[in-house]
């Protein structure tokens, strides 16, 4: 079995897949990749199932050594990847051999990169997922972020069989160096417009508060992590006595407004319920942009409808899974 040796772990590198579903009623967060879309693209490029486990690297990438031959693909944040000192392309299946070393020279755009390996990462699943949830110390590799000296087992794959739905060269039985379809790769900018749909407690806010929510430029603060993004901007005013709610379920991208009026966007490691009024929810298609934003960057919210959000998501999934 091929393995990957971790020589340097970067700022925060963990094993993640789509997440741990079906356990929120017991208080267990979903976790999983912050940018599920980039995770799925990386997996498809190397022939995996879209939700297979990858590495998620935040801000700075790891230094890896391969003990066996495999294929890799790197999506999401551009951290200037290099293989044996030579630059390699993003969003492309790349052939690696025993002894090859993968490294990253520095962040050029985005926040989180996803590294997929043909066959996936063969750590044991916990509650149906290989995702790392650090706060509980479960999943991934020993329930924690990677450290130098760790060695990750890779899943089995057949190097002679067609490995990928996006990048297969059937004549040679290996991936072509083929780019993800044009227009499918998100553009990570320092200022983003994030589309939202109205939340279940939108009526808890004054009209002026709702207007300011949709017109204010919010800054991503340093108090932002995999659990949630805290934003800073013009406070959003609640109606008198309508700051809190009876604790209710929350989802990925829920926008809560606590008493200070500053939005909190709940992310992958979010708690399962919350007691702040839910003014909005980020649409699924824009979570990939949101998850790639760094502290100091600017968010503007734009309202859309549930029907339009569905259409955008369905179109993107169709193009992703059948780009031809």
Q: Which domain holds residue 47?
A: 3-175
Looking at residue 39, the DSSP 8-state letter turns out to be H
Sort 158 into a burial class: Cβ within 10 Å, 0-12 / 13-18 / 19+. exposed
Upper half-sphere CA count for residue 303 (Cβ side, 13 Å): 12
One digit per residue, the tens of pLDDT, for the chain of length 324 reads 899 999 999 999 999 999 999 999 999 999 999 999 999 999 999 989 999 999 999 999 999 999 999 999 999 999 999 999 999 999 999 999 999 999 999 999 999 999 999 999 999 999 999 999 999 999 999 999 999 999 999 998 866 554 454 444 434 444 443 567 767 889 999 999 999 999 999 999 999 999 999 999 999 999 999 999 999 999 999 998 888 899 999 999 999 999 999 999 999 999 999 999 999 999 999 999 999 999 999 999 999 999 999 999 998 888 776 554
Among 128, 145, 175, the domain boundary falls at 175
Tell whether 156 and 211 lie within a shared domain. no
CB 83 within 8 A of CB 94: yes
Give yes or no for a contact between 75 and 114, defined as CB atoms under 8 angstroms apart: yes
Cα torsion angle, 286, 288, 289, 293, sign: positive
Predicted confidence (pLDDT) per residue in 287-300, tens digit:
999 999 999 999 99
Based on the domain organization, do 148 and 201 belong to the same domain? no
What's the domain count of the chain?
Answer: 2
**DSSP label at 203?**
G
C-beta separation of 17 from 39 below 8 A: yes
Pairing of the two strands 168-169 and 254-257: unpaired
pLDDT digits (tens, 9 = 90+) for 120-160: 999 999 999 999 999 999 999 999 999 999 999 999 886 65
Last-in-domain residue among 146, 175, 204? 175
The pLDDT assigned to 162 comes to 47
One domain, residues 168 and 216: no
Q: How far is CA 109 from CA 103, 112, 257, in A?
A: 16, 9, 29
Return d(Cα 19, Cα 90) in angstroms, integer.
Answer: 24
User: Where residue 294 sits, what CATH number does that domain have?
Assistant: 2.40.100.10
Q: Are strands 70-78 and 63-66 parallel, antiparallel or unpaired?
A: unpaired
User: Is the same domain home to 228 and 285?
Assistant: yes
- Is there a single domain that holds both residue 23 and residue 139? yes
- Whole-angstrom Cα distance, residue 119 to residue 155? 4
Kindly state whether residues 229 and 158 are assigned to the same domain.
Answer: no
Does one domain contain both 135 and 9?
Answer: yes
* pLDDT value of residue 321: 65
136 shares a domain with 240: no
Q: Which helix (H) or strand (E) holds 310?
A: helix 306-321
Q: Say whether both 164 and 44 belong to one domain.
A: yes
Q: Rounded CA gap, 254 and 281, in Å?
A: 4
Has residue 182 been placed in a domain? no
């Amino acid at each position: 079995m091929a393995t990957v040796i971790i020589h340097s772990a970067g700022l925060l590198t963990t094993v993640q897949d789509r997440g741990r579903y079906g356990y929120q009623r017991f208080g267990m967060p979903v976790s999983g990749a912050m940018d599920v879309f980039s995770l799925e693209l990386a997996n498809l490029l190397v022939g995996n199932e879209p939700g297979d486990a990858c590495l998620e690297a935040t801000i700075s990438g790891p230094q890896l050594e391969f003990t066996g031959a495999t294929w890799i693909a790197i999506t999401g944040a551009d951290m200037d990847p290099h293989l044996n000192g030579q630059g390699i392309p993003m969003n492309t299946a790349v052939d690696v051999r025993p002894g090859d070393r993968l490294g990253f020279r520095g962040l050029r755009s985005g926040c989180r990169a996803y590294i997929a390996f043909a066959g996936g990462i063969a750590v044991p699943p916990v509650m149906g997922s290989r995702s790392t949830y650090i706060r509980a110390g479960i999943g991934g590799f020993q329930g924690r972020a990677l450290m130098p000296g760790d060695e990750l087992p890779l899943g089995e794959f057949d190097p002679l069989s067609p490995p990928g739905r996006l990048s297969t060269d059937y004549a040679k039985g290996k991936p072509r160096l083929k780019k993800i379809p044009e227009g499918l790769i998100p553009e990570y900018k320092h200022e983003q417009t994030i589309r939202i749909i109205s939340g279940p407690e939108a009526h808890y806010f004054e009209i002026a508060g709702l207007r300011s929510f949709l017109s204010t430029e919010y800054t991503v603060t340093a108090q932002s992590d995999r659990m949630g993004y805290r934003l800073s901007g013009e406070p959003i005013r609640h109606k008198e006595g309508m700051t809190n709610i009876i604790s209710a379920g929350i989802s990925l991208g829920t926008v809560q407004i606590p008493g200070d009026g500053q939005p909190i966007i709940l992310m992958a490691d979010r708690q399962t319920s919350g007691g702040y009024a839910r003014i909005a929810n980020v649409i699924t298609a824009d979570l990939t942009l949101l998850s790639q934003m760094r502290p100091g960057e600017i968010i503007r919210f734009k309202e859309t409808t549930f029907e339009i959000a569905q259409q955008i998501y369905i179109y993107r999934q169709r193009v992703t899974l059948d780009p031809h």
